[in-house]
Amino acid sequence: MTIDHIGAILFPEDIVLRIIGRLSFPLFCYLIVLGVETTTNLRNYFMRLLSFAFISQIPYQLALGHESPTLLNIFFTLSFGTLFFMHPLLLLLSILVSQFLNFDYGPYGIILIISMYILRKNTNYGIVLIVLLNILLLLESPAQIMSLLALPIIIFHKNGFLETGKGVDNYNSYPLWRKYFFYVYYPIHLVTLYAIKVSLL
């Protein structure tokens, strides 16, 4: 993600950085599914993600050069992607809202989160869905096909090769800083990159 934003904010002409950054969003979607599986309160999880969406929006607009909120940051996509897990009928609402309000990654992002959930249940079905989803996006965003390179990492984790010894049962024993580090990192790294951009003008 940081490499992607360095490319978008500081070196927009360098397509290599943007391509590398394509790997980050599938990993975020997978982590959202893990978060849903480990949280003790799904509604609070949704509200936490949504809160950081609002906190991050101004840094996002400044860093990416959007004068008005024409594109909403990735936390909006991730938060609305959890609504399906509250009730499956909310999936359609999430997709419509993501399109109407112009979330980062839009309906593709919402559906990718659901695909990661399916992958957790059945690896083969999940892989097929994710590959098809990215093929459908080829005309709109050809570089996004590179996100498929994140699949081996995700499958390795699912199969237990990347286990850290902290499972679902002891997730709540994580220190507070570890739970919130990546929430806070998102707006802070955007502010930092924006400051660097301004200093170079």
- Tokens read off for 74: 């990735």
**pLDDT recorded at residue 169:** 47
**pLDDT recorded at residue 174:** 58
pTM of the model: 0.90
Residue 123: what residue type? T
**pLDDT recorded at residue 168:** 47
Do 33 and 84 form a contact (C-beta atoms < 8 A)? no
φ and ψ of 167, to 5 deg? -100, -165
Q: Which residues contact 138 (CB under 8 A, 6 or more apart)?
A: 144, 145
Do 57 and 50 form a contact (C-beta atoms < 8 A)? no
Mean pLDDT for back-to-back runs of 10 residues, the chain (201 residues): 89 84 93 93 96 96 81 96 95 96 95 97 96 89 89 92 56 63 92 92 71
Around Cβ 69, how many Cβ atoms within 10 Å? 13
- Tokens read off for 99: 């399109």
The structural domains of the chain, with segments of one domain joined by +, span 2-200
**pLDDT recorded at residue 187:** 95
